[in-house]
Amino acid sequence: MHTILIIGATGMLGQPVVKSLKTKFKLRLLVRDITIAKKIFGSNFDYIIGDIFDENSLDKAMNNCFGVHINLSGNIEQTGTEKIVEVAKRKNIQRITYISGTSVSKDTLWFPLAKRKYYAEQAIIQSKIPYTIFCPTWFMETLPKYIKGNQAFIFGKQPNQYHFIAASDYANMVLKAYQLDQTKNKRFIIHGKEGYLFKEALETYIKEIHPSIKSVTSMPYFIAKLIAFISRKKEMREAANLMQYFEKVGEKGDPKEAYEILGKPEITLEKWIEMQK
């Protein structure tokens, strides 16, 4: 049985991948905090404590591994991926899987997040290691992040539809990527089953999960950024910037090939909401 190293396992989108891959593969998790990792996953995993910028950690973590799944975010995403790829080439890794984004392209390099992901993709592609890159749209799991206290809000007008996808459907696609040869050297656009305006999706969520919240507020970007600046709320500033970016570029790509090879998503927004109760 092949061993897959998962980097970023404890993140929101790393946890479902662990749950899915462990059904068919041996897993090794590179973690910075073993206490947090064991609280999430338990003790029955092969943990390596370390950091992606410590070459010795990566070297040890990749020993006898078949594949590496990369789930990084933030400012370290590009440089971290480049470091992982550098070690993976030396360790004879046979597969790399990586989560990018549906709008990532040369046309969106002006946005820092898209730029980091684009060059992370390029590092993987140029490594000559067989790869599968997943480019998902918005995840259903992000909806709770737009609720604070007794308020639900979005930034800007958000006129574009998004095909929200459940993280567990995406995780099952990662599993398929390691099982099927035709997923090698592919970049898959990942969309969910149904299209919603962001406000519609959030309204559907709060109706069932937070019924005391009667409406979703649309906050202008300049107000959101001013509040974030005054209150030093980095998360709010980043969320406003992200929504402003998506309002401009929309949801890109065609998921047809992903559906044909990896299978169509099974979880609707309504089903996902029921699962949260």
pLDDT digits (tens, 9 = 90+) for 130-142: 999 999 999 999 9
Give 248-277 pLDDT, tens digit per residue. Answer: 999 999 999 999 999 999 999 999 999 998
Structure tokens at 165: 């996808």
Q: Average pLDDT of 94-111?
A: 97
Give 76-89 pLDDT, tens digit per residue. Answer: 999 999 999 999 99
Residues written for the chain: 277
Reported pTM:
0.94
Handedness of CA 154, 194, 108, 182 (dihedral sign): positive
62 close to 91: Cβ distance less than 8 angstroms: yes
Q: 10: pLDDT confidence band, cut at 50, 70 and 90? A: very high
Give 187-243 pLDDT, tens digit per residue. Answer: 999 999 999 999 999 999 999 999 999 899 998 988 888 887 888 888 888 888 999
- CA-to-CA separations, 50 to 7, 8, 41, 43, 54, in angstroms, rounded: 10, 12, 17, 17, 7
What pLDDT, on the 0 to 100 scale, is given for residue 233?
A: 81
Q: Which CATH class is domain 3-129?
A: alpha beta
